Amino acid sequence: MKFKLLKASTSVKTVVPLFDGFYNTIFENYWNSQEEIGRVFTDKVNEKIGSILPSFSYTFEKIYSPAQYNYSTDEIYATATFDMNELMNYLSANKSAFDSFAQSNFSSYDGFISFVPNNYDEFVQELTSKGSSDLSSFVVGAVEFILYNEYGDNIKNDLNEDTYYDMDVPEDERWEVDGFTYDTEEDARLEFKNVCESEPSEDHVLMLNDEEVEFYKGK
């Protein structure tokens, strides 16, 4: 089925899918470079999705980080611009695969309520009838499907690892004394000096990003 919608060009405020975030990930030591990492990841997704849907691209806006990570994680906020006809034609051509993906990923279960239909027909109906302000979850779902469908189950890891190896940002400085973390080098060095003087019989170590900087051998 070929779609021909009256308003083909669409812009949607949404999030870039498949980003691992910063907490407990390969990006954990780069909190001070969040925006740059977000931009690189967005570029990586644009390369992948753009090779399938030439009209589709994300424009990076900002990083969102939750106050607590119990129920959510960091997200990349962006504007997605695309030709709705092109997107719908891809979904139509891959209807069976989309149905299977939607059933596995968009179905509600205990502890989770899905706000996206878990079948092709209802998904397409809502995608084409909603205003752009209500399309974010649908765009995320559609792009996730396309990326997994075209690049396989490792696409999420590939995108995050490609971003990690291509980003040109310094690792955050993480200073530790005997396993305790300090905000600055000055604080860490002062504490290292103090513990060496107050506990001279014990071994003490000053670390920077898991690398030993100075070691004191207890007497």
Report pLDDT digits (tens) over 110-139.
Answer: 888 898 999 999 999 998 887 767 899 999
In the predicted structure, residue 208 carries a pLDDT above the cut 50: yes
Return the higher-pLDDT residue of 4 and 145. 145
pTM of the model: 0.79
The C-alpha atoms of residue 82 and residue 118 are separated, in whole angstroms, by 23
Domain positions in the chain are: 9-166, 175-216
| pLDDT at site 1 | 56
Average pLDDT over residues 82-106: 96
Return the higher-pLDDT residue of 158 and 30. 158
Start-to-end C-alpha separation, the chain: 81
In the predicted structure, residue 8 carries a pLDDT above the cut 60: yes
- Mean pLDDT over all residues of the chain? 91
For residues 14 and 139, the answer to whether their CB atoms sit within 8 Å is yes
4-8 contacts, C-beta under 8 A, 24 or more apart? 4/85, 5/84, 5/85, 5/88, 5/128, 7/84, 8/83, 8/84, 8/85, 8/86
Identity of residue 186: E
